[in-house]
Amino acid sequence: MKRDKRITERLEGRFFEKEYASGEKAKVAPHSVVREVSRELGLDVNCVERAVFLSGAVPERYVRNLSTFSADEQRRIFFSKVAMVGIGGLGGHLLESLARAGVGNITACDGDEFEPSNLNRQRFAVENTLYSNKSDAAFEMIREINPAVFLDVRSDFITDDFESFISGADLVADCLGGLKYRAELKDAAANQGVPLVTASVAGWVGIVSTVFPGDNSPADFFGSDNGLEEELGTPVPAITTAIGIQTGEILKILSGKAPALGGKALMFDLSNLYFDTVAL
């Protein structure tokens, strides 16, 4: 593309090399240069970082990922698309984590507004966003965190047409509140032939699972009752624990690594520091 060629010409000779303890070397595009080229050409940062990856380099914002992921794996993450359902307690933290990790294309939806009871745990719930759309707050904050992410955040409650929403995604992230509609989302991901990584919490406990098409998921056993979450509450420690595990599974899949929870579920109880993995 002519656009990529123009960007590459601006980047030529401006990379530096970084060597890691493993001996791997990576060609890195300085963050200041990426921003400068974006401004000079009037292009979104996503376009510039795309050209950086295509030239065999890595944007500087991801260099601390490269002891865990190779430069090629980081490139895979950037060129992946994740569809997320829910950007509240679970989804807000996951959206931030995926944006910081460098997932280049994210579509997310949530038709709800922030209310005071969200302030205890939801990433984008702050005093200034109360009673506003979760989708609007998420979009603005993620653009501040990583403007290189191509982000489509929709203010929609999706209950019966998950397949249209997740079409074209490489992976689906289930961040729904409660259990209602989780089985439908799992079936939609299976019909689209893509993996789903699901997380749910109640009180101190949580469960995370990676579900490939045709596999069982926790939703197959727990039904659709939301009573447990409402009874036990949703404190932030369980939320962030679940999101750490869910993010790890997602990034492993997107980068080409094998997930640890394929066909399994990890259950935890932070009140007793209990962790166990079971086959589904």
- Is residue 73 situated within a structural domain? no
What pLDDT digit, counting tens, does each position of 180-204 carry? 889 999 999 999 999 999 999 999 9
Does residue 7 form part of some domain?
yes
Note whether residue 158 is domain-resident: yes
Domain-ending residue, one of 33, 68, 103? 68
| Domain-embedded: residue 227 | yes
> 64 and 136: one domain?
no
pLDDT of residue 219: 86
Per-residue model confidence (pLDDT) at position 1:
66
Rounded to an integer, what is the distance from CA 187 to the centroid of its chain?
Answer: 20
Q: Residue 146 domain-assigned?
A: yes
- Per-residue confidence (pLDDT) for residue 240, from 0 to 100: 97
Which residues does the chain have with pLDDT short of 50?
A: none
In this structure, the answer to whether residues 14 and 139 fall within a common structural domain is no
Phi, psi (5° rounding) for residue 244? -60, -45
In this structure, the answer to whether residues 216 and 161 fall within a common structural domain is yes
Q: Do 227 and 94 fall within a single domain?
A: yes
Domain ranges, residue 111: 80-279
Give the Cα separation of 136 and 272 in Å (integer): 38
Do 149 and 12 lie in one domain? The reply is no
Residue 75 lies in a domain: no
Domain boundary among 13, 45, 68: 68
d(CA 82, CA 43): 23
Q: Do 44 and 100 fall within a single domain?
A: no
Eight-state DSSP code of residue 149: S
Do 59 and 104 fall into the same domain?
A: no
Shared-domain flag, residues 56 and 167 = no
CATH label of the domain that carries residue 254: 3.40.50.720
pLDDT at 280: 93
Residue 194, burial from CB neighbour count under 10 angstroms (0-12, 13-18, 19+): buried
> Count of domains in the chain?
2
Q: Are 61 and 198 found together in one domain? A: no
Q: Is the residue at 45 inside a domain?
A: yes
**Do 63 and 84 share a domain, yes or no?**
no
74 inside domain = no
Are 230 and 96 in the same domain? yes
pLDDT 10s digits, 113-156: 999 999 999 999 999 999 999 999 999 999 999 999 999 999 98
**Closest C-alpha among 135, 140, 186, 195 to residue 163:** 186
Residues 172 and 52 placed together within one structural domain of the fold: no
Cα–Cα distances in Å, from 256 out to 30, 239, 276? 26, 26, 25
